[in-house]
Structure 1
């Protein structure tokens, strides 16, 4: 999303936003369960939809020092990791919703774009 051609993600789900988790070459495997979460994204601003993702995952990555680590993640951290790794693979949260919902969002975005052009 920032035109840097590396597989790097920084995620911070801490309340104070002071615990960034740096993930270099991250990958995960599903351990168990599913969870539904209302997701949005700066790539599709103003739109939110319920997405079903794995509840618990096993994350493997390198830290900022280049050292490998693994951790089990669940809850919001699991959702955020899956969401951000989707970006690394060229996917958005709308790729996980029904075709009908995706088409509705697309039409609204096209209309918003046309309305912006008219205002100028």
Structure 2
């Protein structure tokens, strides 16, 4: 598993949204995590796969932005955001297997054609009745 250098991660404390009363209004307990993929020490193939991901948390500049606000504690939110970043990096860590195209088997072709002929008979039976 690839370890993320804490020096490459930038945390910003912000005010959380939603319910929580006075605590939400006066305490900056939510956290924005920013992680620049291109400037990181991750291996090049992992960087490429991360940048190729179609994820809304990754900006066009190649910066991962994660907002954590589930907990009332800023430290817990930092841990949550870091865990989500680690999970994102781990998802692209393994090289995806290359799919090799195969041809359908003779039996699967026969089953397909049999199903088509049955369907055509059903539809043919729906026409007007002629004597």
Q: Structure 1 or 2: larger strand share? A: 1
Please identify the structure whose Cα radius of gyration is greater. 2
Q: Structure 1 or 2: larger helix share? A: 2
The answer, yes or no, to whether TM exceeds 0.5 is: no
TM-score by length of structure 1 reads 0.25
Higher relative contact order (CA 8 A, sep 6+): 2
